[in-house]
Amino acid sequence: MRTPSWRALALAGALFCSGFPAGATTVDVAGVPLEDRITVAGKPLVLNGAGVRYKAVFQVYTAGLYLTAKADTPEGVLASTGPKRIGITMLRDIDASELGKLFSRGMEDNMDRAAFSKLIPGVMRMSQIFATHKKLNKGDTFTVDWVPGTGAVLTVRGQIEGEPFKEPEFFDALLRIWLGPKPADWQLKDALLGKARTGNRP
């Protein structure tokens, strides 16, 4: 008898169950509604913080960080146990391959060289996934879920992309793109840590 694949188990077991707990509400971030509570791998998560990634004066995407319990420091986020999710919604059209390269650079900029070198195979695979999509349009979404025992699962436009990235260090490196010492956007870093919510800058 064939053993079910992780993908089949994910679908059957609602790995990406986003049924919202009773009483969940939405938070508007630059016109994008984000649920304040979701469920991932059977575990309830809360919206730790959300904001907008800016490039100069242009809005690029919204980002929302979900944890089992709120944390207001990068160290607290990384130490958080249980599932986690970073969710992105595009606010403008962008070359997907370029976005993948920016993410790779963001990971590298926030890690020491030796630690980053161990993640290069995963970084290259992630870049290739984005490259195959060619373009992400305004309104497109993707999420990266950390599921203990499974790994980091990348979903683009509602479709699971390849096998999970199994190393916890890989997901932590992804989070450092926004929460590391050289974040993609300092205001977004504060927003994801629940210190502020960015939408329209003054």
Positive or negative CA dihedral for 115, 174, 15, 68?
positive
Indicate whether 32 belongs to any domain.
Answer: yes
Where b means 16+ CB within 10 Å and e means fewer, 75-101 reads eebbebeebbbbbbbbbeebebbebbe
Mean pLDDT score, 50-79: 96
The total of structural domains in the chain comes to: 1
Strands annotated E in the chain: 26-29, 32-35, 37-40, 43-55, 58-67, 84-90, 94-95, 135-136, 141-147, 151-156, 159-160
Which residues, at least 6 apart from 148, have a Cβ–Cβ distance to it below 8 Å? 41, 81, 82, 83
Indicate whether 199 belongs to any domain.
Answer: no
Positive or negative CA dihedral for 34, 125, 132, 185?
positive
Indicate whether 46 belongs to any domain.
Answer: yes
pLDDT of 177 higher than 90 = yes
27-36, 43-52, 188-197: range with lowest mean pLDDT: 188-197
Distance between CA 19 and CA 34 in Å, rounded? 13
Indicate whether 115 belongs to any domain.
Answer: yes
pLDDT, tens digit (0-9, with 9 covering 90-100), for 108-155: 999 999 999 999 999 999 999 999 998 999 999 999 999 999 999 999
Indicate whether 134 belongs to any domain.
Answer: yes
Range of the domain at 54: 6-192
- Residue 15 belongs to domain with CATH number: 3.50.70.10
What pLDDT sits at residue 19?
A: 43
Distance between CA 180 and CA 104 in Å, rounded? 13
CA torsion angle 91 94 97 101 (round to 10): -70
What pLDDT sits at residue 175?
A: 97
What pLDDT sits at residue 119?
A: 95
Indicate whether 170 belongs to any domain.
Answer: yes
Indicate whether 198 belongs to any domain.
Answer: no
Distance between CA 12 and CA 60 in Å, rounded? 34
What pLDDT sits at residue 198?
A: 55
Indicate whether 197 belongs to any domain.
Answer: no
pLDDT of 202 higher than 90 = no
pLDDT of 20 higher than 50 = no
Q: Which amino acid is at 123?
A: V
Q: What is the pTM of this model?
A: 0.85
